């Protein structure tokens, strides 16, 4: 019986282990890509809502820094509850948000922005 050649066995084992780790991370990245594609619409809607709320928050904080059109458009949050209702059809979003918090008038804007950012991070 031949003696084991340890000098070849150890590098081959390390190479096999590295291949397994590589496959694991590749499958993890693939799942993340699929998740991102599945939630693309929701992520875009969340981005729009976050931007709208950031503008409204900035206007609320510094009302005299904006022209009349920006002021009027930025303060108009009438469509936010309906957009939130549409987004809550996704089970991941409905777990994180409470519909009653998003009824008009929307207050505590920074908290709402933080909530939406956390939901977006969860979808990514």
Total domains in the chain come to 2
Specify whether 25 is located in the same domain as 83: no
At residue 11's C-alpha, the angle toward residues 1 and 5, to 5°, is: 15
Specify whether 51 is located in the same domain as 95: yes
**13 pLDDT more than 80:** yes
pLDDT at 3: 67
Model pLDDT for residues 85-121, shown as the tens digit of each residue: 999 998 888 888 887 888 888 889 999 999 999 999 9
Specify whether 10 is located in the same domain as 65: no
**72 pLDDT more than 50:** yes
Specify whether 111 is located in the same domain as 50: yes
pLDDT, the chain, mean: 85
Specify whether 56 is located in the same domain as 87: yes
Can you tell me the distance from the alpha carbon of 123 to that of 109, in angstroms, rounded to the nearest whole number?
Answer: 21
Q: How far is CA 110 from its chain centroid? A: 17
Closest to 107 in 3D by CA, of 81, 83, 88: 81
Specify whether 28 is located in the same domain as 47: no
Higher pLDDT, 1 or 57: 57
Specify whether 51 is located in the same domain as 75: yes
**1 pLDDT more than 50:** no
Q: Is the dihedral of CA 109, 110, 113, 119 positive or negative?
A: negative
Specify whether 59 is located in the same domain as 119: yes
Residue 58: give the domain boundaries: 39-123
Higher pLDDT, 32 or 82: 82
Specify whether 58 is located in the same domain as 105: yes
Specify whether 1 is located in the same domain as 57: no
Specify whether 53 is located in the same domain as 108: yes
């Amino acid at each position: 019986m031949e003696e084991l050649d340890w000098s070849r066995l150890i590098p081959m084992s390390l190479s096999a282990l590295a291949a397994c780790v590589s496959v694991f991370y590749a499958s993890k990245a693939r799942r993340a890509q699929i998740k991102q594609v599945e939630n693309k619409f929701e992520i875009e809607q969340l981005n729009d809502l976050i931007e709208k709320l950031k503008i409204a928050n900035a206007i609320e904080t510094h009302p005299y820094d904006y022209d009349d059109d920006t002021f009027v458009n930025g303060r108009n949050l009438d469509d936010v509850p309906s957009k939130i209702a549409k987004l809550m059809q996704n089970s991941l979003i409905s777990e994180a948000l409470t519909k009653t918090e998003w009824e008009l008038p929307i207050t505590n804007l920074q908290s709402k922005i933080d909530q939406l950012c956390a939901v977006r991070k969860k979808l990514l």
